[in-house]
Amino acid sequence: METFTNAKPFVENPRYSQDRQDTLAALDSSSIDRPIVDIIDGFSRLPHGFTLQSCYGHFLSTEGQDPHNLDPIPSRGTGWIKYRIAYLAFCIDNSSAGKALFDALAQIPENDPARIQFGSAEWFWKRHVNSFALQVEPMRHKRKDQVTLEYEEAIDVQRSRGLFFDKIRELLEKQLREHRAG
């Protein structure tokens, strides 16, 4: 799967409302990584955007470790860590509120441009036009969905992942406030 391409321009999407409704009806909250359930829930309350897929990001430091493990990297580690990327994929309405959401999401990488990217993923776009993705991945690996990193770099990526989700929560809080205000 291509995990990152440049953000595509918005196109008309007469199926947006139906796609949103279908996606939210099929949403299984037990399949969402626990640390980001609140984020996915928050986006489901926005009429101008919804999540398509997400991953908290997983660090695997030992052979045979659960690939969906949510544990932090061991504090006294060395060597190599396998990292499965943290990301959020969204479908956004081609409306003024949707474009404001797009603009806000597109600014998230400014918090750590070496490790956070915003763009489109062909795999999602083929199924949902106006879909975009934010991901946490060292820039040189931005087109991969998992990589092996040296311990020190993995620790930096873990910090970036925390910052990333903090910034998404701030953005979401603002978006929900603005939506409630009308």
Residues contacting 109, CB < 8 A, separation 6+:
116, 117, 118, 134
> Residue 30 burial by CB count (10 A; 0-12/13-18/19+): exposed, middle or buried?
exposed
**Cβ contact 90:7 at 8 Å:** no
The pTM of the full predicted model, rounded to 2 decimals, is 0.94
pLDDT at 3: 59
Nearest in space to 104 (alpha carbons), one of 134, 138, 139: 134
> Residue 120 belongs to a domain with what CATH number?
3.30.1960
Q: Let me know if residue 136 belongs to a domain.
A: yes
> Which residues are CB-neighbours of 45 under 8 A, at least 6 positions away?
176, 179
Structural domain including 138 reads: 16-181
Taking only the tens place, the pLDDT of each residue in 55-67 is 999 999 888 889 9
| Dihedral in degrees, nearest 10, Cα atoms 93, 146, 152, 87 | 10
* pLDDT tens, position by position, 67-117: 999 999 988 877 899 999 999 999 999 999 999 999 999 999 999 999 999
Asked whether the predicted pLDDT for residue 1 surpasses 50, the reply is no
154 in any annotated domain: yes
Q: What is the pLDDT of residues 144-174, one digit of tens each?
A: 999 999 999 999 999 999 999 999 999 999 9
> Does the pLDDT value for residue 10 go beyond 90?
yes
* 3, part of any domain: no
Closest CA to 102 of 49, 139, 51, 142: 49
Is the alpha carbon torsion for 22, 23, 24, 30 positive or negative?
positive
Looking at the domain assignment, is residue 6 inside a domain?
no
- Is residue 118 within 8 A of residue 134, CB to CB? The reply is yes
Q: What is the mean pLDDT of the chain?
A: 94
Is residue 2, in this structure, part of any structural domain at all?
no
In-domain check, residue 88: yes
Specify if 5 maps to a domain: no
Question: Domain tally for the chain?
Answer: 1
| Alpha helices, H only, the chain | 16-26, 37-44, 96-107, 122-127, 151-181
pLDDT at 64: 85
Domain contains 175: yes
Q: What pLDDT is recorded for position 4?
A: 74
